[in-house]
Amino acid sequence: MDTKIDEKKLLKEAKEARKNAYVPFSGFTVGAALLTKEGKIYRGCNIESSVMSPSLCAERVALSKAISEGEKEFLAIAIVGAPSGEDAKEPCYPCGVCRQVLSEHTDLNTFQIITEENGKAVSCPLSDLLPKAFVFDK
Count of CA atoms in the C-beta half-sphere (13 A) of 20: 15
Q: Please indicate whether residue 59 is annotated as part of the active site.
A: yes
CB 1, min distance to ligand THU, A = 29
Comparing CB distances to ligand THU, the nearer of 27 and 39 is 27
Q: Which residues neighbour 70 within 8 Å (Cβ) at sequence distance 6 or greater?
A: none
CB-based burial of residue 74 (10 Å sphere; 0-12 exposed, 13-18 middle, 19+ buried)? buried
CB 137, min distance to ligand THU, A = 27
Identify how many contiguous H helices and E strands the chain contains and give both numbers: 4, 5
CB 10, min distance to ligand THU, A = 15
The residues of the shown chain that bind ligand THU, judged by CB under 6 A, are 23, 26, 28, 30, 46, 48, 55, 57-59, 81, 92, 94-95, 98
Count of CA atoms in the C-beta half-sphere (13 A) of 90: 9
Comparing CB distances to ligand THU, the nearer of 38 and 104 is 104
Question: Hey, what's the torsion of the CAs at 105, 58, 41, 66, to 10 degrees?
Answer: 50
**Which residue out of 7, 48, 59, 116 is catalytically annotated?**
59
CB 93, min distance to ligand THU, A = 7
Comparing CB distances to ligand THU, the nearer of 41 and 94 is 94
* Separation of alpha carbons 115 and 12, rounded Å: 11
Comparing CB distances to ligand THU, the nearer of 36 and 55 is 55
Catalytic residues: 59
